């Protein structure tokens, strides 16, 4: 038989450890660090959910309380925020010649009218037609009274302040003067701020106390909050159970309705509340 051919063995190449195919961990194989991260994230999410729930409950409770305190008073023809104990109104030529005996007697439940703001002047030359009558009658009928000026920001603030001071005979116990600013009169924010500041400074120099600023919620937040947040505020914001300002500044008076009725008086009135006690109210009197 012919000799068998010798078959040369083919050497098997050695695989380096670095080239070996790594075996992937099973999906369930999670490291200790990964477990900590997952646990921590879960805790944070849980805390956020609980916080949101608590916040939501708090807001619901707040809204519920506001609604409970916002009660319809048929005698006045409006809802009143009854969580405030000091109520008042304001008047101008628009209400005509008023019967102050009826205003003094106006009462419903535990709500009676304690104070009144009266329009005195407007712009540089205009005096309200019924200012003098209303001013005298308010004192005669025992109301805490205050006077306000309707400011036109396209006119000199100093000149307007001089008209107000010349017209209004302020006495001890009256409210500090009020600057009513609610229109732009076609001027920009900078001019509005300057006019308001000139009026306030001129009046404060004479009276010795910071005047009150009256305006709407929207106007305050759009034009005044940057420069006048440290002044006493009287804010108009109608037909809602509560009032909060965007800058969280404290308001002092709130004109909450312009549709109040008093039996025997044909024109509707603006109704207001004071945000505080009678001792705190007295701080705004001369």
Residues with a known catalytic role: 182
The sign of the torsion formed by the CA atoms of 280, 258, 264, 91 equals positive
Biggest alpha carbon–alpha carbon distance for the chain: 149
């Amino acid at each position: 038989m012919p000799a068998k051919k010798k078959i040369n063995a083919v050497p098997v190449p050695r695989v380096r450890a670095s080239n070996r195919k790594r075996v992937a961990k099973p999906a369930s194989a999670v490291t200790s660090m990964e477990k900590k991260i997952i646990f921590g994230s879960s805790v944070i999410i849980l805390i956020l959910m609980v916080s949101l729930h608590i916040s939501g409950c708090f807001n619901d409770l707040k809204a519920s309380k506001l609604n409970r305190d916002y009660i319809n008073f048929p005698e006045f023809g409006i809802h009143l925020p009854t969580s405030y104990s000091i109520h008042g109104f304001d008047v101008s030529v628009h209400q005509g010649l008023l019967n102050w005996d009826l205003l003094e007697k106006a009462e419903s439940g535990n709500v009676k009218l304690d104070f009144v703001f009266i329009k005195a002047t407007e712009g540089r030359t205009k005096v309200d037609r019924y200012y003098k009558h209303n001013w005298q009658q308010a004192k005669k009928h025992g109301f805490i009274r205050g006077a306000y000026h309707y400011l036109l920001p396209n006119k000199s603030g100093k000149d307007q302040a001089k008209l107000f001071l010349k017209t209004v005979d302020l006495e001890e116990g009256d409210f500090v003067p009020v600057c009513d600013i609610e229109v732009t009169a076609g001027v920009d924010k900078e001019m509005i701020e300057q006019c308001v500041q000139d009026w306030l400074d001129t009046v404060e120099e004479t009276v010795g106390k910071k005047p009150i600023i009256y305006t709407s919620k929207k106007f305050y937040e759009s034009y005044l909050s940057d420069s006048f947040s440290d002044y006493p505020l009287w804010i108009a914001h109608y037909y809602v159970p509560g009032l909060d300002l965007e800058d969280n500044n404290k308001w002092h008076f709130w004109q909450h309705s312009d549709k109040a009725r008093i039996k025997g008086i044909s024109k509707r009135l603006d109704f207001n509340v004071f945000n505080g006690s009678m001792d705190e109210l007295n701080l705004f009197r001369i």
